[in-house]
Amino acid sequence: MSNGQAITVVATKRSGHHAFIEWICNNLDSSYLYLNNLPLRKDEVQVKFLEAREEGKGGEIDSHRYKEHKLISSEKVERYDNVILSYENQPLRSVLSSNAFMAEQELLLKSERTRRLIVFIRDPVNAFASFLKVVEKKPEKIKQFAGQKRAWMEHARLFLGESSRDVQDIFGAEVYMVSYNQFIRSADYRQTLAKELGLSGAEWSRSLSRFGGGGNTFFQDRDGYQASVDSLESRWEELEDKSLLSEVFRDDSLYDLSLRFYQEVGLEHPFASVMGSLRAAKEA
């Protein structure tokens, strides 16, 4: 085993990370195993999606979708050149310090794969709105919202450069901060990222991801759906009740952090005024 990769992606729910991970897998030039939304308890590793690209098929993908609740054996992992793991709604330091993560990394270290850690972050208005859109359909999901808010704030601070060097020292390999908004907006950004991650290309499909994301089920025309940047950055407009989203941005620390995030990614306009309107609507 050589030249493969072990990529860990940490993100919040409804961040667009499944589409991003699918983009990574589609631009790898050899086989891969994707372990989706891993829990931090060592005995509940979930294999949700297995995708294998075979040589000699011109980039075609053989797909197998299943769930399996058991520890992943080293024999299974070694069948694939590349392994991608994702964690959702977990503060990064909680992931890095968990026994489950350490066990998984120990397994991956037995090979010669290049290890990478990606903190993937979507802008707060649309990340929170997209999650709350799910809550409108499935009210029981609201219990996960506090975790999303806590994780987003930690990821945002890391994205803005706070303690990112400490995280790299803990992980012991390269750490990347990736913006969902820049990823969907800029072909140059995707091209640069593809080069940094050692991918064979940077082509991105705007169709719905096959790799997960419960919100996918809310699109009526799933087979023909093609995302636009405008639609992906206006999820907040689709909420029937914006009161919870308004309440989120009344939190001064989150509001200030969000404003700094938008300034960093060049989206202060229009989202500074959007957040201001949301705060005012709650107070009215």
Chunked into runs of 10 residues, the chain (284 residues) has average pLDDT values of 80 92 90 80 44 32 35 68 88 84 74 89 95 92 93 95 80 91 94 95 72 50 63 85 93 96 94 93 60
Boundaries of domain holding 120: 5-233
With respect to residue 272, please indicate whether it lies within any of the assigned structural domains: no
pTM recorded for the entire structure = 0.84
Task: Choose among 156, 168, 147: nearest CA to 90.
Answer: 147
> Which one-letter amino acid corresponds to residue 205?
S
**CA dist 251 → 112, 131, 137, 257, 260 (Å):** 45, 18, 25, 10, 14
Count Cα neighbours of 26 within 13 Å in the Cβ-side half-sphere: 14
Q: What is the pLDDT of residue 215?
A: 46
One DSSP character per residue, 175-222 reads EEEEEHHHHHH-HHHHHHHHHHTT-S------SPPSS--GGGGG-TTT
Q: What is the pLDDT of residue 226?
A: 64
Token duo for residue 47: 């294999």
d(C-alpha 179, C-alpha 213), whole Å:
18
CATH number of the domain encompassing residue 25 = 3.40.50
With respect to residue 106, please indicate whether it lies within any of the assigned structural domains: yes
With respect to residue 258, please indicate whether it lies within any of the assigned structural domains: no
End-to-end CA distance of the chain: 62
With respect to residue 284, please indicate whether it lies within any of the assigned structural domains: no
With respect to residue 265, please indicate whether it lies within any of the assigned structural domains: no
With respect to residue 176, please indicate whether it lies within any of the assigned structural domains: yes
Q: What is the pLDDT of residue 217?
A: 47
Q: What is the pLDDT of residue 52?
A: 38
Mean of the per-residue pLDDT values of the chain: 80
Q: Contact, 167 vs 92, CB < 8 A?
A: yes
Q: What is the pLDDT of residue 211?
A: 60
Number of domains in the chain: 1
Question: Which tens digits make up the pLDDT trace of 227-265?
Answer: 677 778 888 888 889 999 999 999 999 999 999 999 999
Q: What is the pLDDT of residue 144?
A: 92
Output DSSP code: residue 240.
Answer: S
